[in-house]
Amino acid sequence: MSKQRLTIALQKSGRLSKESIKLLSACGVKFNMHEARLMVHSTSHPIDLLRVRDDDIPGLVMDGVVDLGLVGENVLEEECLERQMRQQANEYRSLRRLDFGHCRLSIALPTEQQFNSIEDLAGLKIATTYPRLLERYLQEQGVNAKSVMLTGSVEVAPRAGLADAVCDLVSTGATLEANGLREQQVIFRSQVQLIQRADELSAAKQQMMDTLLARIDGVQLAKE
Ligand code: ATP
Ligand code: ZN
């Protein structure tokens, strides 16, 4: 990566892409977007965008491959816990919580299933894309349940007989309902964070960084 230009990792295509680009645009950072491009150079500032899957963003920042990242706290915390377990570098600086990408990670059960308390999860298999967050929660609650890792189609797992319950991201709950599931317990609330690599930036990058942060704060204030 460049020594002079600030590199920002953001989601290539998905729920966070539009808002991430919108934020940078509102800060006056201009670029010619090419849908297919991995790397996009700003035409107005010494800033490069790296467009990747959201799951890759925390690791790119923690490994110091990029300077900044825009990512959901669900993905960030999961990667942190995973790296902690594997004794890999998991440090980063939390710069700002941003006002988009709001969702919650919740445990949901088939609608017909009785649920009175967390203890009712004992012995169940729970499908999730976030096994570390789920396991941490179960441990804190002292409940013995098993997580089943699925990277997609989590909400169909119970009907397919792969699991008894799910632990999945929810914003409105419509997807759960459409799959015969009822949200029972929120285990994590998430929004997007702007994160920075743990080590010092070069003077040139730090200067760009200070300008960018001041503008982000301005944009956030104007929205309130
Ligand atoms: P990618 O191809 O980048 O891996 P993805 O399918 O994992 O994409 P998206 O569905 O685009 O990811 O979601 C990206 C992020 O958006 C989530 O990790 C979460 O932080 C946030 N988000 C907000 N609302 C929701 C929701 N209802 N369901 C899923 N994610 C949501
Ligand atoms: Zn993803």
Q: Nearest ligand, CA of residue 12?
A: 1
For the cut 80, the answer to whether the pLDDT of residue 72 exceeds it is yes
Instruction: Write down the ipTM of this complex.
Output: 0.97
> Which bound ligand lies closest to the C-alpha atom of 14?
1
- Label residue 36 by pLDDT band (50, 70, 90): confident
Look up residue 33 and give its two tokens.
Answer: 């977007």
**Do 6 and 47 touch, CB atoms closer than 8 A?**
yes
pLDDT over threshold 80, residue 220: yes
**Average pLDDT, integer, range 113-142:** 97
66: Cα separation from own chain's centroid: 16
Ligand sitting nearest the alpha carbon of 15 = 1
Q: Kindly state the tokens that stand for 120.
A: 């009712």
Q: Closest Cα to atom 11, ligand 1: which residue?
A: 14
Tens of pLDDT, residues 162-185: 999 999 999 999 999 999 999 999
- Dist. CA 56–CA 76, nearest whole Å: 10
Residue 52: its pLDDT value, please?
Answer: 98
Mean pLDDT, residues 109-131:
97
Q: Quote the pTM value.
A: 0.96
In a mutational test of the pocket of ligand 1, which residue from 10, 13, 16 has the highest number of ligand atoms less than 8 Å from its CB?
16
Span(s) in the chain for CATH 3.40.190.10: 6-101+191-223, 103-190
pLDDT exceeding 90 applies to what percent of the chain?
95
Q: Whose CA is nearest to atom 27 of ligand 1?
A: 171
Given a cut of 80, whether residue 1 has pLDDT beyond it is no
Nearest CA to ligand 1 atom 28: 169
According to the CATH classification, is domain 6-101+191-223 in 3.60.20.10? no
Quote the ligand 2 centre to 202 CA distance (angstroms).
Answer: 30
Positive or negative torsion for Cα 99, 100, 101, 103: positive
For ligand 1, atom 12: residue with the closest CA: 14
Can you tell me whether residue 143 is helix, strand or coil? Answer: coil
Two tokens, residue 131: 């096994």
Give the distance (Å) from ligand 1 centre to CA of residue 188. 14
CATH code at 103-190: 3.40.190.10
Q: Which amino acid is at 119?
A: E
